[in-house]
């Protein structure tokens, strides 16, 4: 892909905190300018960098025709109307109209109240995997839409956002995702790195502080940095993702990244390291190491240990409800389990790590019935002080999948369930006499 517009940045200062002393007020140590980059809104880029796994937000539809609508296409059935709020300006609402009978959806992309002069959208019927009996097909479409942002006293901006709408005919509501992606380049210790800012909020906005994010009940977004220069921001292997509004270790210093409303400027300020930072990270578990035994909590309240499966080959997957790539990998794991479970010498274990118990319970209630392999929860949850499985196994990113032999030794470790890793996993099991039907 072409390199985005690059702006000069400040050099990251080294300001270590002195133990036992009151921390100094937060100081700005890095300023990153991130221009709008429309090319990064393309679906293939989002998919390649594991960003399109962002969850959808529901948007209700009503039968009442809005007063601002000036011109409409010819409908076949009764239209349903909805508004999508973008940016942080109160009047920045984008009209969406659905006609079930025509099997069509319109979006007023230029926001002029006329639905007949907007660019057409190519819709495709979609059904993930093999359609289930009675399953309804759905529409999936994308638009590029401008949004307005208030940046403070007498300052504002407009930026192109990518709006992805999914609609199941007859449902009465749309499922919406909004992508606000910006990119730039930062220079640290004499070396340049590509950076990208990604918004997870429904309106494409980046809340400027923690209090604002809490009030909006929106996540703050993520700064991705291509630390190893491989040309991708996918957060696998080398850590590349840094959440906004929380202390993160960045080039040996604890900082907190904050953004303005439209994401055009990110500032890093000194931050106090969280208590878990005092724990020296354990080396990552690798091939040949003995897997650390642990106990996980099953959905029915019972408990099971890893050692309960001694004598079997074990595929052990670490995942979390907040991890998009993990959720995208789960159906693949289930498919492989169904094709392999005939072998009595194999077990699949999916452990929800670094997560809240309430989030796990909610996921189990909504998605658990779709899965037949053993899924449980790490009782240590998000506690990081030397107890949870992420720490004990030295795992820096998820999904991470381990393959264990019958004695509990690690045969392989896969970070991310990429097509290459899937192929390697199946080949390894086949070499051990475990082959898919």
pLDDT band at residue 16, thresholds of 50, 70 and 90? Answer: very low
The pLDDT value given to residue 136: 63
Burial 184-214 (b: 16+ CB within 10 A, else e): bbbbbeeeebbbbbbbbbbbbbbbbeeebbe
Domain residue limits at 94 = 39-179
- Give every CB contact of residue 155 below 8 A, 6+ residues apart in sequence: none
Shared-domain flag, residues 412 and 388: yes
Final residue of a domain: which of 179, 199, 230?
A: 179
At 229-271, the pLDDT tens digits run 777 776 544 557 888 888 888 988 999 998 888 899 999 999 9
Shared-domain flag, residues 256 and 197: yes
Token pair 């930072």: residue: 277
The pLDDT value given to residue 45: 64
Q: Is the pLDDT of residue 183 over 90?
A: no
216 within a domain of the structure (yes/no):
yes
Shared-domain flag, residues 167 and 196: no
| CA dist., res. 106 & res. 143, Å (int) | 10
286 within a domain of the structure (yes/no):
no
pLDDT band at residue 215, thresholds of 50, 70 and 90? Answer: low
| CA dist., res. 290 & res. 90, Å (int) | 57
Shared-domain flag, residues 186 and 175: no
Summarize the confidence of residues 312-316 as an average pLDDT: 97
Question: pTM to 2 decimals?
Answer: 0.63
The pLDDT value given to residue 17: 32
Reduced DSSP (H G I as helix, E B as strand, rest coil) percent helix, strand, coil of the chain, to 5:
15, 35, 50
Q: Is the pLDDT of residue 358 over 50?
A: yes
At 390-419, the pLDDT tens digits run 889 988 788 999 999 999 999 999 988 888
Asked if residue 107 lies in contact with residue 121, where contact means CB atoms within 8 angstroms, the answer is yes
> Cα(first)–Cα(last) distance of the chain, in Å?
40
Shared-domain flag, residues 256 and 315: no
Shared-domain flag, residues 212 and 312: no
- In this structure, what token pair is assigned to residue 135? 């399953």
pLDDT band at residue 39, thresholds of 50, 70 and 90? Answer: low
Shared-domain flag, residues 166 and 189: no
Q: Is the pLDDT of residue 128 over 70?
A: no
Final residue of a domain: which of 179, 209, 238?
A: 179
At 48-96, the pLDDT tens digits run 665 555 667 888 899 999 998 999 999 999 999 999 888 888 777 889 9
Q: Is the pLDDT of residue 217 over 70?
A: no
At 160-169, the pLDDT tens digits run 888 888 888 7
Shared-domain flag, residues 242 and 309: no
pLDDT band at residue 333, thresholds of 50, 70 and 90? Answer: very high
The pLDDT value given to residue 239: 56
Asked if residue 283 lies in contact with residue 394, where contact means CB atoms within 8 angstroms, the answer is yes
Final residue of a domain: which of 138, 155, 179?
A: 179
**Which CATH number fits the domain that encloses residue 409?**
3.40.30.10
pLDDT band at residue 142, thresholds of 50, 70 and 90? Answer: confident
| CA dist., res. 306 & res. 290, Å (int) | 12
Beta bridge partners of 255: 248, 270
Residue 256 has a CB neighbour count (10 Å cut-off) of 21
Residue 42 or 365, more confident:
365
Question: What does pLDDT average to over the chain?
Answer: 82
Shared-domain flag, residues 187 and 169: no
Shared-domain flag, residues 343 and 356: yes
Asked if residue 289 lies in contact with residue 412, where contact means CB atoms within 8 angstroms, the answer is no
pLDDT band at residue 335, thresholds of 50, 70 and 90? Answer: very high
377 within a domain of the structure (yes/no):
yes
405 within a domain of the structure (yes/no):
yes
Shared-domain flag, residues 235 and 168: no
pLDDT band at residue 203, thresholds of 50, 70 and 90? Answer: confident
């Amino acid at each position: 892909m072409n390199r985005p517009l690059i702006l000069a940045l400040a050099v990251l200062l080294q300001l270590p905190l002195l133990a036992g002393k009151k921390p100094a007020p937060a100081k700005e140590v890095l300023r990153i300018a991130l221009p709008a980059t429309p090319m990064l809104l393309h679906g293939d880029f989002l998919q390649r960098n594991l960003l399109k796994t962002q969850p959808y937000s529901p948007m209700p539809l009503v039968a009442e025709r809005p007063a601002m609508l000036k011109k409409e296409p010819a409908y076949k059935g009764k239209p349903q109307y909805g508004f999508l709020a973008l940016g942080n300006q109160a009047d920045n609402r984008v009209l969406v109209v659905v006609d079930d009978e025509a099997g069509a959806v319109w979006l007023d992309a230029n926001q002029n109240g006329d639905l007949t002069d907007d660019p057409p959208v190519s819709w495709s019927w979609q059904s993930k995997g093999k359609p289930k009996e009675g399953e309804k097909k759905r529409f999936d479409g994308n638009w590029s839409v401008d949004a307005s942002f208030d940046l403070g006293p007498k300052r504002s901006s407009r930026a192109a956002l990518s709006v992805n709408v999914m609609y199941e005919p007859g449902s009465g509501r749309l499922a919406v995702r909004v992508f606000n992606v910006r990119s730039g380049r930062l220079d640290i210790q004499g070396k340049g790195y590509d950076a990208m800012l990604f918004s997870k909020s429904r309106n494409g906005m980046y809340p400027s502080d923690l209090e604002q994010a809490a009030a909006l009940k929106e996540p703050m977004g993520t700064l991705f940095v291509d630390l190893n220069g491989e040309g991708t921001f996918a957060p696998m292997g080398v850590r590349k993702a840094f959440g906004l509004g929380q202390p993160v270790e960045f080039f040996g210093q604890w900082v907190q990244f904050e953004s303005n409303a439209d994401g055009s400027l990110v500032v890093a300020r000194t931050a106090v390291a969280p208590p878990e930072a005092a724990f020296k990270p354990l080396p990552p578990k690798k091939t040949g190491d003995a897997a650390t035994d642990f106990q996980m909590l099953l959905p029915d309240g019972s408990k099971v240990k890893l050692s309960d499966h001694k004598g079997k080959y074990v595929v052990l997957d670490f995942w979390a409800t907040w991890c998009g790539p993990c959720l995208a990998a789960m159906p693949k794991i289930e498919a492989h389990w169904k094709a392999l479970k005939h072998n009595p010498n194999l077990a699949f274990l999916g452990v929800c790590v670094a997560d809240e118990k309430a989030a796990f319970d909610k996921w189990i209630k909504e998605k658990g019935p779709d899965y037949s392999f053993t899924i449980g929860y790490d009782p240590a949850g998000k506690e990081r002080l030397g107890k949870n499985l992420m720490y004990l196994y030295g795992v820096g990113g998820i999904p991470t999948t381990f393959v264990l032999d019958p004695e509990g030794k690690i045969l392989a470790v896969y970070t991310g369930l990429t097509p290459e890793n899937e192929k390697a996993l199946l080949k390894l099991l086949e070499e051990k006499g475990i082959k898919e039907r």
